[in-house]
């Protein structure tokens, strides 16, 4: 990723950092070294940087994966995607037969009914897995769940329960589909911390997260909503201190969830940073999701006529809310999915930067999926970075085309090539656990723009391969203000590499997502991935 030295045959490492890059003779200038030829037939890339994902990915693997797409667990096991409801039921049955405790709840995650047309999972099918043991299936969106009859009974939900969010069939019986916070709350009470943000603080979840990241070649990853709780911080410190932990973690402070302490909380945390635990980003969320119809859209709104989405912060308060963090010199990462949300956040940044000018702030729009050309031009002139949710093109692109946005706006979504032409620093992300953590796949999405059905969304927004690879390394590092530490193979940076079997710059672009990741190197230490 260093344009002055895009290729080299040798890299020398000392104290976990890159000492020298070049040919064998170049690196020998530093004296004799132990030669490691493990990688002589491999390609070393800078370790991948995932600028928007969540430790919750690690917590999810305590439950059974029932998603539509293939996914690899922390142990490297590949869980094939389940493309029919029958297959979902079969996997649940298999999991249930392995459970030792008779009445412990069976938890599953990653389910997405959007791929099954009008077919829905209901208590009827789930009760065939078990009519005694409570079963809970969290959807990929994490805003819905399906449960079976024993779970409904435990939660006290029956035909008399008369609130929105409890789906019912024609005869008035609950189907077991529970939507949004209130309907899911009684279930969370029964299953404890399982499948929740709080669960992602545990040491086990952090370890599992690290392993999932490592499998995909990731050496630096964010936790883009972190509670900064005492126990969470202690666990992160303990786990990342282990030489065996394969990833550098960047937790982002989220004042909307845990406002206490404000900017000072981040500044104090920064003083305790270690090479593997980096603080600085502050996360704000201003609207919802497009596929959940909660993103704030400009006219003409949702294609299927759903009402406009939700604000999580009143737009008139953006400037007031951002200011203390901006003035403290911190970096803001603002979730804006819909184009109305993006527009008002741009307005806010314009005002903020007029009132309190700051050089090199690197405030970043996260997701920014629907931004149009004029908004991108403003983002460029305001010096903002953008981290696009490019995986959406593949996973929900068809839904965006037919249900949420319609052809024209779906074609321009996650407009990374426009951003590149405007010189906007950009990255791509997975938002794991919402989609799988796999930067090569994400780079493939941005460079090919194919949906799951094979439709190409906006071929003119395809990003050249070289730029896509930069986005998942140095580009993402830049959006985290870590480009002096990671993101390229340059003297003085951490010796973090993704080890690939083939050169992604040489293979056909369509194959980018299929490249084998042999493993990673973190600070000079080799982490071979289990065979997948």
Partner 1 sequence: MNAIPLVVIGGYLGAGKTTLLNHILSNAGSRRITVLVNDFGSINIDASLIRQRTDDVINLENGCVCCSIGGRLVEALLAISSRTDAPDLLIIEASGVSDPVRIAQIGLLDRAFRLDGIVVLVDAERVEETLADPYVGDIAQRQIAGATAIVLNKMDLLGEPAREAVKARVEALANSRVIVQTTHAAVPLGLVFEEGHPLPARSIGAMPLSASPTPRDLCSFSFVTDACLSRKKLKEALRSFSAKLLRAKGFVRLESDGALHELHVVGNRAVISASPARTCAQSQIVLIGMFDREDESIARAALKAAEVGA
- Contacts with partner 1: how many residues (CB under 8 A)? 42
Q: Does 168 bind partner 1 (CB under 8 A)?
A: no
188 lines the binding site for partner 1 (CB under 8 A): yes
> Of these, 316, 374, 453, 460, which contacts partner 1 (CB under 8 A)?
316
259 lies in the binding site for partner 1 (CB under 8 A): yes
- Asked if 313 is part of the footprint of partner 1 (rule: CB under 8 A), the reply reads yes
Least Å distance between CB 126 and partner 1?
A: 20
Q: Does 190 bind partner 1 (CB under 8 A)?
A: no
Using CA atoms, how far apart are residues 484 and 56, in angstroms rounded to an integer? Answer: 28
Candidates 66, 129, 147, 183: give the one binding partner 1 (CB under 8 A).
183
Residues with Cβ within 8 Å of residue 97, at least 6 apart in sequence: none
Is 9 or 317 the residue whose CB approaches partner 1 more closely?
317
Maximum Cα–Cα distance for the chain, whole Å? 80
Helices assigned H by DSSP within 294-433? 318-327, 339-355, 373-381, 391-395, 397-399, 407-411, 416-421
Report the run of H or E that residue 46 belongs to, with start and end.
Answer: strand 43-46
Answer yes or no whether residue 161 interacts with partner 1 by CB under 8 A. yes
**Is residue 323 near partner 1 by the rule CB under 8 A?**
no
Q: Which is nearer to partner 1, 180 or 372 (CB)?
A: 180
Which residue number, 269 or 457, has a Cβ lying nearer to partner 1? 269
Applying CB under 8 A, which of residues 254, 440, 499, 517 lies at the interface with partner 1?
A: 254
Shortest separation between residue 142's beta carbon and partner 1, angstroms:
12
- Could you give the C-alpha distances from 15 to 126, 212, 280, 495, 524, in angstroms and in order? 54, 26, 24, 9, 8
Considering only residues 99 through 118, tell me which ones interact with partner 1, judged by CB under 8 A.
Answer: none
**Contacting residue, 16, 76, 81, 165, with partner 1 by CB under 8 A:** 165
- 30 binding partner 1? (CB under 8 A): no
**Range in contact with partner 1 (rule: CB under 8 A) among 27-35, 49-57, 159-167, 456-464:** 159-167
| Candidate segments 78-86, 141-149, 154-162, 505-513, binder of partner 1 by CB under 8 A | 154-162
- Segment near partner 1 (CB under 8 A); pick from 12-20, 208-216, 304-312, 407-415: 304-312
Spatial distance between the Cα atoms of 178 and 137, rounded to a whole number of angstroms: 10
Decide: is 185 part of the binding site for partner 1 (CB under 8 A): yes
Q: Which of 315, 383, 406, 509 binds partner 1 (CB under 8 A)?
A: 315
Torsion (CA) 246, 252, 258, 259 in degrees, nearest 10: 150
CB of 292 to partner 1, least distance (A): 13
H or E segment and range at residue 17: strand 17-22
d(CA 7, CA 18): 15
Give the one residue of 257, 358, 421, 511 binding partner 1; rule: CB under 8 A: 257
Nearer to partner 1, 96 or 258 (CB): 258
List strand residue ranges (DSSP E) for 53-190, in order.
64-65, 71-72, 78-79, 106-111, 135-139, 144-147, 166-168, 174-179
Give residue 340's Cα distance to chain centre: 22
The packing angle between helices 318-327 and 262-271, to 10°, is 30
The sheet with strand 281-285 has its strands ordered as 48-50, 218-226, 248-253, 281-285, 331-336, 364-367, 385-388, 426-428
Q: 286 in helix, strand or coil?
A: coil
- C-alpha torsion angle, residues 263, 228, 215, 80 (rounded to 10): -110
Q: CB of 223: closest distance to partner 1 in angstroms?
A: 15
Beta pairing partners, 44: 499
Partner residues linked to 177 by β-bridges: 146
Interface with partner 1 includes 164 (CB under 8 A)? yes
Rule CB under 8 A: say whether 260 interacts with partner 1: yes
Between 248 and 378, CB nearer to partner 1: 378
Tokens coding 346: 């741009």
- CA dist 42 and 37 (Å) reads 10
Report the distance separating Cα 17 and Cα 524, nearest Å: 7
Interface positions, 334-353, toward partner 1 (CB under 8 A): 340, 344
Q: Is 96 in the site for partner 1 (CB under 8 A)?
A: no
* DSSP secondary structure letters along 144-184: EEEE-HHHHHHHT--TT---TTEEE-TTS-EEEEEEHHHHH
Measured in whole angstroms, the distance separating CA 382 from the mean position of its chain's CA atoms is: 25
Nearer to partner 1, 13 or 184 (CB): 184
**Restricting to residues 194-223, which ones interact with partner 1 according to CB under 8 A?**
196, 198
Q: Can residue 380 be called a binding residue for partner 1 (CB under 8 A)?
A: no
Does 256 contact partner 1 by CB under 8 A? Answer: yes
- Assess 139 for contact with partner 1 (CB under 8 A): no
With CB under 8 A as the contact rule, which of the stretches 23-31, 157-165, 366-374, 514-522 interacts with partner 1?
Answer: 157-165
- Interface region with partner 1, contact rule CB under 8 A, candidates 75-83, 160-168, 459-467, 515-523: 160-168
Residues engaged in binding partner 1 (CB under 8 A): 156-157, 160-166, 180-183, 185-186, 188-189, 196, 198, 227, 254-261, 296, 307-308, 310-317, 321, 340, 344
């Amino acid at each position: 990723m260093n344009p002055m030295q895009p290729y080299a045959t040798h890299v020398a490492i000392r104290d976990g950092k890159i000492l020298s890059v070049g040919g064998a003779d170049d690196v020998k200038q530093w004296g004799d070294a132990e030669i490691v030829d493990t990688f002589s037939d491999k390609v070393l890339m800078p370790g991948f940087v995932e600028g928007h994902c969540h430790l919750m990915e690690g917590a999810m693997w305590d439950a059974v994966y029932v998603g539509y797409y293939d996914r690899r667990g922390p142990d490297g096991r590949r869980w094939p995607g389940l493309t029919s409801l029958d297959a979902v039921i079969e996997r649940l049955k298999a999991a249930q037969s392995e459970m030792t405790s008779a009445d412990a709840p069976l938890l599953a995650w990653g389910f997405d009914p959007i791929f099954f047309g009008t077919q829905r999972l209901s208590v009827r099918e789930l009760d065939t897995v078990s009519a005694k043991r409570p079963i809970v299936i969290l959807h990929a969106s994490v805003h819905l769940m399906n449960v079976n009859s024993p779970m409904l009974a435990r939660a006290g939900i029956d035909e008399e329960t008369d609130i929105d969010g409890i789906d019912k069939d024609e005869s008035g019986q609950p189907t077991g589909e529970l939507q949004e916070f209130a309907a899911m709350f009684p279930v969370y009470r029964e299953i404890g911390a399982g499948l929740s943000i709080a669960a992602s603080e545990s040491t086990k979840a952090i370890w599992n997260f690290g392993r999932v990241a490592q499998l995909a070649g990731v050496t630096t990853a964010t936790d883009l909503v972190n509670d900064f709780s005492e126990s969470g911080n202690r666990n992160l410190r303990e786990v990342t201190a282990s030489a065996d932990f394969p990833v550098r973690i960047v937790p982002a402070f989220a004042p909307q969830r845990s406002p206490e302490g404000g900017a000072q909380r981040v500044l104090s945390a920064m003083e305790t940073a270690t090479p593997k635990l980096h603080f600085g980003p502050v996360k704000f969320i201003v609207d919802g999701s497009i596929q959940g119809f909660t993103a704030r859209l400009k006219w003409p709104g949702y294609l299927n006529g759903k009402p406009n989405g939700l604000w999580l912060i009143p737009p008139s308060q953006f400037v007031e809310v951002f200011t203390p963090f901006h003035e403290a010199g911190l970096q803001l990462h603002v979730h804006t999915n819909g184009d109305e949300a993006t527009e008002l956040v741009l307005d806010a940044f314009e005002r903020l930067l007029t009132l309190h000018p700051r050089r090199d702030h690197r405030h970043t729009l996260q997701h920014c999926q629907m931004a149009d050309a004029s908004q991108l031009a403003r983002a460029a002139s305001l010096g903002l970075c953008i981290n696009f949710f490019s995986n959406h093109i593949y996973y929900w692109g068809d839904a965006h085309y037919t249900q949420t946005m319609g052809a024209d706006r779906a074609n321009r979504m996650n407009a990374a090539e426009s951003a590149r032409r405007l010189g906007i620093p950009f990255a791509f992300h997975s938002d794991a656990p919402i989609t799988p953590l796999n930067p090569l796949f994400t780079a493939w999405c941005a460079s090919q723009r194919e949906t799951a059905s094979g439709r190409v969304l906006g071929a003119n927004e395809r990003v050249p391969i070289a730029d896509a690879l930069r986005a998942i390394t140095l580009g993402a590092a830049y959006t985290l203000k870590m480009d002096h530490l990671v993101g390229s193979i340059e003297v003085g940076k951490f010796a973090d590499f993704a080890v690939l079997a083939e050169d992604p710059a040489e293979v056909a672009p369509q194959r980018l997502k299929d490249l084998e990741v042999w493993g990673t190197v973190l600070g000079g230490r080799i982490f071979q991935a289990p065979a997948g």
